[in-house]
Amino acid sequence: MKEISVQELKELQDSNQDFQLIDVREDFEYEVSNLGGLSIPLGGVLIEADKISKDKPVVVMCRSGKRSAAAIMQLEQLGYTNLSNLQGGILAWAAEIDPELSVY
């Protein structure tokens, strides 16, 4: 499974590269803090897979990296090959990039 660090994600955002960010946390978690990605809770990933791009890089994130890894494993069964897991999730983002971000 490909992984991406929070620093690499920040570089992607800052350089305006064309990619998709998918947040697989629950809605209440997304409301506390998010990085602007598309919210698709883990339980709905397969149902809403048509919203996830197959033709550009996709970064999948959660709180710590475990649920996003599970989501990637499910999506790879559908033939996705363009997915990267955000190492450490939003906790790593708050620790390394944006200490002002609310975490829980």
Looking at the annotation, which residues are catalytic?
62
Tokens of 95: 């620790």
In whole angstroms, give the CA distance from residue 4 to residue 2. 7
Look-up of token digits 């996705």: 80
In whole angstroms, give the CA distance from residue 7 to residue 72. 20
Question: If DSSP codes are grouped into helix, strand and coil, which group holds residue 77?
Answer: coil
